């Protein structure tokens, strides 16, 4: 799909309330949102995946969001909902690319569970060596696995994609739960080892590439990829641990 022209044929003909010209205006209006999410995503992906690939996948999500939008929905609510749909569509596309995706998703989940168990056992975030030992892997094998998971696109933490809001106009309870989740993530980042915090800060706040971060840390780009993956799994483990505590 072209990055300049967006087809409106994805919009069902069963929607008489909007004609094709109006649909085209809506797509053009929300193009910057899709491009923004696509640009953030492409930064952590291998060079074999192009920006146009990601943008096209994102437009699938936007089409779904536009189809489900009610006429009375406020713009801020729709943008939050559309962002969720766009991210989800992009992730679905990435998962479909690799026949090993199911295996790597399972491996990612096992790492998160092991880190969560170790955190609860020791009262602190585990080290690389401890997680590797819990999984029955050597340190180098564990680091390689983190890199493979990252390359497959499973080492990202998107708050908006953790759980779809139960309604498009969230209740006070849902808003509170989401605020608690954001607080948990913030605390988890604060608890990370200094090196992992630096990786996240340089990547997300200073918008440095993995290569640039490697130059700062004096390591290879592939090692930075592993460190980023480790940080994401530790944060996920903290979230999982918080959920377990609430259920008790």
Same domain? 93 vs 135: no
In which domain, by residue range, is 37 found? 1-97
Report DSSP state, residue 80: H
Which of 80, 97, 114 finishes a domain?
Answer: 97
Instruction: Report residue 146's pLDDT band, with 50, 70 and 90 as the boundaries.
Output: very high
- The pTM of the full predicted model, rounded to 2 decimals, is 0.56
> Within this chain, do residues 213 and 240 fall inside the same structural domain, yes or no?
yes
Per the model's pLDDT, the better-predicted residue between 155 and 124 turns out to be: 124
> Does the pLDDT value for residue 57 go beyond 80?
yes
Are residues 88 and 145 both part of a single domain? no
If you average pLDDT over each of 89-93, 96-100, 198-202, which comes out highest?
A: 198-202
Same domain flag for 24 and 52: yes
Assign 138 to helix, strand or coil.
coil
Query: Residue 32's domain is classified under what CATH number?
Result: 1.10.1740.10
Mark whether 24 and 77 lie in a shared domain.
yes
Residue 135: band (very low, low, confident or very high) from pLDDT cuts 50, 70, 90: very high
Mean pLDDT (the chain) is: 80
> Can you give the pLDDT at residue 19?
61
Pair of tokens at residue 34: 């899709």
* Predicted confidence (pLDDT) at residue 15 exceeds the cutoff of 50: no
> Helix, strand or coil for residue 165?
coil
Query: Could you tell me the CATH number of the domain that includes residue 205?
Result: 1.20.140
Between 165 and 216, name the one with better pLDDT: 216
The answer to whether 83 and 160 are in contact (CB under 8 A) is yes
Residues 81, 20 within the same domain: yes
Are residues 118 and 13 part of one domain? no
| Residue that is last in its domain, among 97, 121, 155 | 97
Instruction: Find, among 200, 202, 201, the residue nearest to 227 by Cα.
Output: 200
- Do 152 and 224 belong to one domain? yes
**Stretch 136-151: mean pLDDT:** 94
Same domain, 59 and 173: no
Whether 1 has a pLDDT exceeding 60, the answer reads no
Number of domains in the chain: 2
pLDDT attached to residue 49: 85
Angle of helix 172-191 relative to helix 221-247, nearest 10 degrees? 130
Cβ-proximal residues to 244 (8 Å cutoff; 6+ apart), any chain = 116, 120
Q: Please check whether residues 68 and 154 belong to one and the same domain.
A: no
């Amino acid at each position: 799909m072209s990055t300049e022209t967006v087809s409106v044929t994805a919009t069902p003909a069963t929607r008489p309330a909007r004609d094709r010209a109006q649909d085209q205006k809506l797509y053009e209006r929300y193009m910057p949102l899709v491009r923004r999410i696509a640009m953030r995503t492409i930064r952590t992906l291998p060079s074999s995946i192009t920006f146009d690939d990601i943008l096209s996948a994102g437009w699938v999500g936007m089409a779904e969001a536009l189809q489900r939008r009610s006429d009375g929905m406020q713009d801020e609510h729709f943008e939050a909902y559309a962002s969720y749909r766009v991210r989800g569509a992009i992730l679905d596309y990435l998962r479909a690319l690799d026949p090993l995706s199911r295996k790597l998703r399972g491996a990612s989940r096992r790492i998160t569970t092991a880190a969560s168990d170790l955190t609860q056992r020791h009262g602190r975030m585990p080290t690389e060596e401890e997680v590797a030992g819990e999984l029955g892997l050597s340190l180098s094998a564990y680091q390689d696995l983190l890199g493979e998971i990252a390359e497959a696109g499973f080492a990202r933490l998107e708050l908006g994609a953790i759980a779809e809001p139960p309604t498009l106009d969230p209740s006070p309870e849902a808003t509170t739960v989401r605020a608690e989740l954001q607080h948990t993530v913030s605390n988890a980042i604060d608890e990370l080892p200094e090196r992992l915090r630096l990786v996240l800060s340089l990547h997300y706040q200073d918008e440095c590439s993995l290569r640039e971060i490697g130059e700062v840390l004096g390591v290879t780009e592939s090692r930075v990829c592993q460190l980023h993956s480790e940080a994401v799994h530790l944060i996920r483990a903290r979230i999982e641990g918080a959920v377990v505590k609430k259920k008790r």
